[in-house]
Amino acid sequence: MALAERRPSLLALADERRRFQRVTVNLLGRYMLTDRREYPCQVVDMSPGGLAMIAPVSGHVGERVVAYVDHVGRLEGVVTRVFATGFAMTFSATARKRDKLAAQLTWLANRHILDLPEDRRHGRFVPKTPVTQVVMPNGLNVSCRIIDASLSGVAVATDQRPAVGALVTVGKIQGRVVRHLDEGFAIEFTRLQHPDFIEDGLRP
């Protein structure tokens, strides 16, 4: 009986593996099972249709999972396999979302191979839409102009000068003030951004 119950989920997992190539990653996140409690996790491999994570509580096969993964965002699906240190899950996504995930995974997989530095040495550019908003530490929304940006940070022109180290949000991206400039200030993002999506993230 137990084998019969497990067969559909194992077949689903095998089908998911055939359809999508999994990539080895090391991403932190958090997840919720049906008990609505939140737990930390570490995603160790992932495809545009599923992932495996190290997790303190595994749930059971078929149980609904909502995961929030660094660099990826919110994923909703079900547990397909349980192992000693965690579990694997599949998740539903539109074709557009799968394409976006595939691009993100390719970038994550190649980041270390290409030896991309995670600091100010990233190539800087001016976004097509340079006007944005910054949410200041006191919650005030301030319109500003982007001087230039990279995958790891942005410089903005404004008469505001938050304290160095202050947490701010530029567009939809969170970061910290790292220095003051003659015409504004510079922000270092709390997470390295994906090159395909950074301009969307900088828009208000």
Please spell the DSSP secondary structure of 98-114, one letter per residue: HHHHHHHHHHHHHHTTT
Q: How far is residue 137 CA from its own chain's centroid? A: 23
* Residues 26-82: tens digit of each pLDDT: 888 899 999 988 898 888 899 989 999 989 899 899 999 999 888 788 899 999 999
Residue 111's pLDDT band, with cuts at 50, 70 and 90, is low
* Residues 178-187: tens digit of each pLDDT: 889 889 999 9
d(CA 25, CA 90): 16
Residue 164, pLDDT > 60, answer: yes
Positions of E strands within the chain: 23-32, 38-47, 50-54, 64-69, 73-83, 86-91, 131-135, 141-149, 153-157, 167-170, 173-181, 184-189
- What is the 8-class DSSP label of residue 61? T
**Structure-token match 């077949």, residue found:** 11
Percent of the chain past pLDDT 70, that is, above it, reads 83
Reference 64, options 52, 78, 82, 74; nearest CA is 78
Residue 134, pLDDT > 90, answer: yes
Q: What's the pLDDT score for residue 112?
A: 52
What lies within 8 Å, CB to CB, of 88 at 6+ separation is: 13, 50, 51, 52, 53, 79, 80, 81, 82
Percent of the chain past pLDDT 90, that is, above it, reads 37
Q: Which CATH class is domain 2-111?
A: mainly beta
Reference 65, options 41, 101, 100; nearest CA is 41
- What is the 8-class DSSP label of residue 182? T
* Token pair of 2 as six digits: 């137990």
Distances (CA, A) of 34 to 38, 81, 85, 89: 10, 16, 19, 14
Residue 146's pLDDT band, with cuts at 50, 70 and 90, is very high
How many other C-beta atoms can be found within 10 angstroms of the C-beta atom of residue 31? 23
Residue 133, pLDDT > 80, answer: yes
What average pLDDT is seen over the chain? Answer: 82
